[in-house]
Structure 1
Amino acid sequence: MKHRPPPSPLAFGALLLMLAACAPTIKIEAPDKPIEINLNIRIEQEVRVRVERDVDSAIRNDPALFGLPPAPVKGKTP
């Protein structure tokens, strides 16, 4: 079995030059006009909360039941 000698550095350099010549060229240019971004965004949010009268009275009678602090009593100061 015969062994090949390693390729010469000159052949390796020529191969690299041929591969570099085949590379695509990328060209980047700034546009002539400024970039304009038109954002027509309309955001609406509506929150509706309805509480039944009996639930409202339960919250007022025992706010701790719902994790709320006790309501202040009229006429008393803390």
Structure 2
Amino acid sequence: MVAVVAMAATVMLGGCITLEAPDEPIVIELNINITQEVIYRLADDAEQTIEDNSAIF
């Protein structure tokens, strides 16, 4: 019985809802700015090792 009432309500509401496509296309503007900063910090002993072996690096 409840199912019949629910179906009847759905049919009655079905005619009240209308969907229309817009006349103009939908435009989405995205302004994305990605900045990445990488900082390498060497310990004093590693820096000294690189200076001592500059031919390797």
Tell me the TM-score range normalised by the shorter chain.
0.5 to 0.7
Tell me what 1:35 maps to.
26
Among 40, 44, 47, the residue aligned to 1:53: 44
Report the TM-score when normalising by structure 1. 0.42
Report the TM-score when normalising by structure 2. 0.53
Residues 1:52 and 1:18: Cα distance change in structure 2 (over 3 Å): closer
The one-letter amino acid paired with 2:42 is V
More helix per residue: 1 or 2? 2
Unmatched runs of 5 consecutive residues or more in structure 1: 1-12, 58-72, 74-78
Q: CA deviation at 1:37?
A: 0.5
> Structure 1 vs Structure 2: percent identity of aligned residues?
39
Tell me what 2:52 maps to.
none
Aligned residues: 47
* RMSD of aligned residue pairs (Cα, Å): 3.3
Taking CA–CA contacts closer than 8 Å with sequence separation of 6 or more, which of the two structures ends up with the larger relative contact order? 2
Among 19, 26, 38, the residue aligned to 2:17: 26
- 1:31 aligns to what SS in structure 2? coil
Larger Rg: 1
